[in-house]
Structure 1
C-alpha cells in the first residue's frame, strides 16, 4: 500500500499509475531494493554496452555514492525526489567535488529511467530534481613560454624520456594513446588509433577454479561489449581502440617531434610487443609494457624539476595547453578538433584556457586594428 502526505501527491500518483497501465497493460507487483535494482542495471544495461573502463566507473559510483545515499535496503518504489537530493549531500559530505555529485546524479537518473522502462517504477523521480551544478575548474595550464621552456629542458639535458614527454607537449594526445604507441605506427605520420589500458579480468569458470585472482583463472574473461576491440599485451595490459571513432586519427609528424621520435625509435629496446615506450621493472630490469598510471605518477617529478614547486599542471592539462597553442597558431577550429581527437567542436572550446594573457593580448590587438586606419598607425609610429 502506498501512502502520501497530501491529496495532490496521491492524485498525481494515481494519474501516473493509470497512464502506465494504459501504456504497458500492467502495473508492477513487486519492488526490488535500491541495491538489488542498481546491481541488475549494471549487469543488464551497463556492462554489455559500455567500455570496460567506463563500466568500472559506473560500478564505483553505484557502490560508493548512489546506493549509500539512497539506502541499500530502500525499496526502489519509495525513492522520491527528496531521496535523490540526498546524493549530492552525501557526495559533498565525503569531501568530494560538485562535479562528482553531478556525475553521481546522472548515473542514478539513468538507472532509475531504466526502472521506468522495465515497468518497475511509475516515473523517474530524478527528472523532478535539478542536477547538481558543476564547479568551474581552476586549472593551471601551460602558456607558450612554459611549453617552450619544458621542451628546451628535455632536449638540452637529453632527458631519457624526452621523446615521451615531447609527444605529450606537441600533440595533446591522451596519456594512454602515447604510452601505447607501436613502432609501426610512427613514421611520416603518427597513428593514434590504439591506446594501452589495464583491463580487469573476471572469472569465466563459474567459480569452479581455485584461483583467488580472476587473472589466474584458466577461463578468465573481460566483460565488454561485443564490438569492443582489445589486443592483449601482457598481464592485464591491453591495446584498445580510443573511446570514439573521432579518436582514431592519423596526424602528420613534424619537427621537432619527428626527429625526437625517430631517434628514440632507432635506440629503443626491442620488445615482443613492438611498443615504443616499454619500461624497465624489477631487480633485473625486465622489460614490461608501459603503464599510463606510472607515467602520471612520474609527471609531477619532471614538472617540479623544470618549474619548481607550486605549479599544479596535471598531465591531462597538457591537452588544454595544446588546444590553446593551436588556437594561438590560428589553426582552424575544425582541424584542432580533429588533431586533439574530440567528437565535437564544443568539447574543443571547453578545453580552451580562460586566462591565457598572450591570446587575450593578440585578440585585443586584432580588435584595435579594426579601429586604427593604416595612416593613423604610421603617424603614431613617427610621433613615438
Structure 2
C-alpha cells in the first residue's frame, strides 16, 4: 500500500523544487543528497496520488464513500459563483457523468442547478430577455400575469422540477379566481360571480411557456412542461355590430358633430382604433396608408431594438402594426374622400384627427364612442372595435368577396388574403370599398 502523502511532504517537495531551480539558474549543480530527496519525494507523490486522466476533473471520494466532482458554471443571476456537483457510488460512473455534463455545458452554455427558482427565472426573463423580442403592449400584459399569478403560484419551485401538473394547477387556480379582486380570498362567493377569463389564463400560459423555452435553450431545463399541456382555449365572444339601419342612423347623427369625420372614418373603413387615431395627412392620397397606429406605451425603453416607433409626446407613440396583414393600403372612395378632404382642408402633414390640438388618448376615444352611441339612441353594448365587425357584416351583405374584406380590414387568418397584396388588385379593392359606400349611401 502506498505511503500516505501529507501536507508536510507537499511542502518539502515544493521547497526542494524551488532550491534546485534557483541553483541551476545560477549555473550551480545541486548536491546529490538534495537531488535524491527530491526524486524520492516525487516518486512517493506519484504512488500516493496518481495523476488524473485527462477529462477526469477534480474527482474526490467523500467520507460516506460517494465519488464526487464539481464543474464550474457561469455566474448566477445574482452574480455569485456557481458550481454543479455530481456524486455517484462508483468512480467510473461519476467520471462518465462529468463528461456528459461537460458536453451539455458546451452545447447550451449552462446547466441546471438547485439555485434557480421559477420566480428568479421569470423576473430575469421579464427584465433582461423578453424586452429584446416582445412588443411593449404584449410585455405589459405578461408582466401582469407573471407578477399576479405565475410567481405567487410557482415562484418558489425549482425551475428544473417544474412539471406538467404544476402548469395545470396554475390554469385551475386562475380559472377559479374571481375577476373582482375584492372577492378573492372569500370562502363563499356570491351567486353569479364572474371568474378570470380563459383568455387571461392563456396569456399566463404563453408567458410561462416563452420563458421556459429560453431556459430549455440555455440548458437550465431538459423539457418545457408547457409543451406537455393543452393550451387554454381563448374565450369566444360574439362581438356585436351595428345593423345597416343603425349604421345609417349613426352616420346621420355624425353630421351634427364637429368630430363626426373621425367616427365616420371608422364606419367607412373598418380600421382599428389606433390606425385612425394615428392617421397622418401625408398618408392620405388617393389611398389610405394604414402602416402606423397610435398606442400608449408606458415604458418605451423596454421595446425591442428592431421595433419601429415615433414619439408623439408623453407616453403616446406611432407604432408599426404587429403583423404584415395589418400593414396595408386601401383605396379612398366617396363619401370618405370628401369627408376627409373637409376635415383636413389644406393640411399636408401631422395627425388628421386631434382633440384640443393634441393626439387622441386611445382610452378617451373609447369613452367618447360610448357617449356617441347614447346620443344617437343606439345600443350601448357595441364597442368601438364593433365598428370593424360592422364593416365586415355590411361588406358581406353588399356581396363583397371574403378575401377582399380580409384585405381591407387587415385580418391575418385567411390564407387567400395574400393573393390580394399587389397593386394589380387595386381595382377590386376599390370596387369593394365603393360597394360599402353605396350600401351606406342612404345616410
TM-score, scaled to structure 1? 0.71
> Is 2:258 aligned against 1:179?
no
Find the residue that maps to 2:134 and give its secondary structure.
coil
CA deviation profile, 1:316-374 (whole Å, cap 9, x unmatched): 122122122222222223322221112231699xxxxxxxxxxxxxxxxxxxxxxxxxx
- Cα contact 2:309–2:319 (8 A) shared by 1: yes
> Is 2:168 aligned against 1:99?
no
* The one of 364, 374, 377 aligned to 1:294: 364
- Cα contact 1:31–1:77 (8 A) shared by 2: no
> Is 2:378 aligned against 1:278?
no
What is the match of residue 104 of structure 2?
Answer: 24
What is the match of residue 66 of structure 1?
Answer: 150
The aligned runs of 1:114-263 (5 Å cut-off) are 114-155=214-255, 158-201=256-299, 222-263=301-342
- Give the 3 Å change call, closer, same or farther, for CA 339–312 of structure 1 in structure 2: same
- Give the 3 Å change call, closer, same or farther, for CA 168–45 of structure 1 in structure 2: same
What is the deviation of 1:144? 2.1
Higher relative contact order (CA 8 A, sep 6+): 1
What is the match of residue 217 of structure 1?
Answer: none
Aligned residues: 299
> Is 2:165 aligned against 1:82?
yes
CA deviation profile, 1:281-312 (whole Å, cap 9, x unmatched): xxxxxx3221111101211111122235x541
Unaligned runs of 5+ residues in structure 1 are 1-16, 202-220, 281-286, 349-384
What is the deviation of 1:25? 5.8
What is the deviation of 1:263? 0.7
What is the match of residue 304 of structure 1?
Answer: 374
- Give the 3 Å change call, closer, same or farther, for CA 74–29 of structure 1 in structure 2: closer
What is the match of residue 264 of structure 1?
Answer: 343
What is the match of residue 13 of structure 1?
Answer: none
Find the residue that maps to 1:246 and give its secondary structure.
coil
What is the deviation of 1:99? 1.5
Find the residue that maps to 2:311 and give its secondary structure.
strand
- Cα contact 1:31–1:76 (8 A) shared by 2: no
Find the residue that maps to 1:239 and give its secondary structure.
strand
Unaligned runs of 5+ residues in structure 2 are 1-96, 179-194, 418-443
- Give the 3 Å change call, closer, same or farther, for CA 328–346 of structure 1 in structure 2: farther
- Cα contact 2:286–2:332 (8 A) shared by 1: yes
What is the match of residue 345 of structure 1?
Answer: 414
Q: What is the distance in 2 between the residues matched to 1:332 and 1:77?
A: 51
CA deviation profile, 1:84-126 (whole Å, cap 9, x unmatched): 1122223221321112112222221222222221111121222
What is the deviation of 1:127? 2.1
- Cα contact 2:240–2:389 (8 A) shared by 1: no
> Which of these two proteins has the greater Rg computed from alpha carbons?
2
TM-score, scaled to structure 2? 0.62
**CA RMSD between the two structures:** 2.7
What is the deviation of 1:132? 2.2
